[in-house]
Structure 1
């Protein structure tokens, strides 16, 4: 049975939080699989997207984490706000503007969690030498979201060219290869 958005988000966000908390302090400046980004850049990007999602509910301003900002604290606050909004039926169903694809908040978070937080969780794990395993249900959801958008996601600062998958590759490897990650 498929998980609800709050359940799925909770697992993905929980795992991303673990990766931030468990990141060796000397690895934050290590390069990530995202060209030109360090592990810190990846984490800051995901925190920023969470802040942006919450700001979309009321039109408030948001900012990316500053260079000296505690990423674990920033992540805890941002993911906590998203989780709280998902548990509020009015906020979960609130329609976000065109900038967010005119989607209800809950659907935007499902897409953001699977197409951004999940994938960048792998990037952060790879950059910092942590466990790279992804939630299998989230991989299936991300595949369903991203495969139909193949041509639309091939642009600078998004996803790179596909990498061929080996015969018999598992679902996680096929998704990551589809998104341009060498596994």
Structure 2
């Protein structure tokens, strides 16, 4: 297991714990992502796993849908991605995604893996769980996102710029000057750190 695989596993463990802790009556509760319920957040994470798997001609293991069993659905998607990470052959396959050439392993790191800490916050906030993001993830995301050129960040903030219905980041939400690194990150990507259901 390399650094990318270790990071993925840590993040997936944390996200899975949050999914497992959601009470049955909370799945249709609103989340900080406008128009998304708690269930929709999990569906999005699974969809991002599928993005990488499709590039490799793979599909997730057979599992219940997110409507039937969100935890089992996530575990199946996770298992399929971990199969890739645990095998150097598919992990090292190169392809182009959105104009960038990368390996499957790098794609996993940039898409489903990077998504889990941020959407883990969404799920936790929607369902009343501990919403602390790992400080290492906060620092990594902050460094990467603030390095994006302003014109490209504007594209990320434009609904539909990457396809119909695709919204990457919302408008920046102002936070206090002495806000925590986590709150600054959340505000930067368009989340309101003060959001409550």
TM-score, scaled to structure 2: 0.82
Unpaired runs of at least 5, structure 2: 160-166
Within 5 Å, which residues of 2 pair with 1:20-169? 20-58=19-57, 60=58, 66=65, 68-99=67-98, 101-113=100-112, 115-149=114-148, 150-156=153-159, 157-169=167-179
Residue range with higher mean Cα deviation, 6-15 or 162-171: 162-171
Give the superposed CA RMSD: 2.2
Partners of 1:88 and 1:143 lie apart in 2 by 30
Deviations 1:145-180 (A, max 9, x none): 322332232022221111122122222111111011
More strand by share: 2
More helix by share: 1
Unpaired runs of at least 5, structure 1: none
Q: Are the structure 2 counterparts of residues 146 and 137 from structure 1 closer, same or farther at C-alpha, using a change threshold of 3 Å?
A: same
- Is 1:13 matched up with 2:12? yes
> 1:33 touches 1:127 (CA, 8 Å); kept in 2?
yes
Which residue number corresponds to residue 171 of structure 1? Answer: 181
Q: CA deviation at 1:88?
A: 1.2
The size of the alignment, in residue pairs, is 179
> 1:161 touches 1:180 (CA, 8 Å); kept in 2?
yes
Partners of 2:55 and 2:71 lie apart in 1 by 22
TM-score, scaled to structure 1: 0.88
Q: Are the structure 2 counterparts of residues 105 and 160 from structure 1 closer, same or farther at C-alpha, using a change threshold of 3 Å?
A: same
